[in-house]
């Protein structure tokens, strides 16, 4: 008798859970003091990946499907801009969430990341995603809410 993980979870649900867990670990460690720079970096990365016309000409990934190119560019630009924003103390002083706010921020950042990735996926790939993940992160209304939620929450968050 062998153990098959696909009997319990589908791959895309495990990826989504990994993003959520990674986001929560991030906000409880180094991200606690950099929620605003992280959100700004994710927004910058998403805008650059969606709007930059040069994305299809990057050597090494030019032969990949367009959605994969955009996801890679989103990831790389987000990481680079986060390091720049954090190192040069942009957005200082900013809100530092504490307690329950950390959990909310972690979930919102994970939702934002998954919504951006879902926006880059073509319809045929989005159709292969499990129905639960597609309803939560892939459909148009939930995706719009995930993209707007961090901005709204940071507007009302107290922090210290």
What's the CA gap between 117 and 151, in Å, rounded?
18
Q: Token pair 């696909």 is at which residue?
A: 6
Which residue did the predictor score with more confidence, 32 or 86?
Answer: 86
CA dihedral 135, 65, 148, 102 (to 10 degrees): 90
Neighbours of 58 (CB within 10 A): 14
| The length of the chain, given as a count of residues | 160
- Average pLDDT of span 1-14: 61
Q: Where are the domains of the chain?
A: 16-155
State the pLDDT confidence band at 3, using cuts at 50, 70 and 90.
Answer: very low
- In terms of Cβ atoms closer than 10 Å to its own Cβ (0-12, 13-18, 19+), residue 94 is middle
**Model confidence pLDDT, tens digit, residues 70-116:** 888 899 999 999 988 888 877 776 667 777 888 888 888 899 999 99
């Amino acid at each position: 008798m062998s153990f098959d993980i696909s009997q319990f979870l589908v791959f895309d649900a495990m990826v989504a859970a990994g993003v959520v867990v990674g986001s929560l670990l991030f906000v409880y460690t180094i991200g606690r003091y950099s929620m605003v720079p992280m959100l700004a970096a994710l927004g910058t990365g998403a805008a650059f990946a969606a709007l930059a016309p040069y994305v299809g000409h990057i050597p090494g990934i030019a032969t990949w499907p367009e959605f994969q190119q955009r996801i890679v560019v989103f990831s790389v630009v987000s990481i680079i801009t986060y390091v720049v924003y954090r190192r040069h103390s942009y957005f200082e002083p900013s809100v530092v969430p504490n307690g329950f706010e950390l959990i909310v921020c972690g979930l919102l950042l994970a939702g934002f990341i998954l919504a951006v990735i879902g926006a880059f996926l073509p319809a045929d790939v989005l159709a292969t995603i499990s129905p639960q993940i597609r309803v939560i992160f892939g459909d148009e209304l939930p995706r719009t809410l995930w993209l707007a939620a961090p901005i709204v929450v940071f507007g009302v968050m107290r922090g210290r």
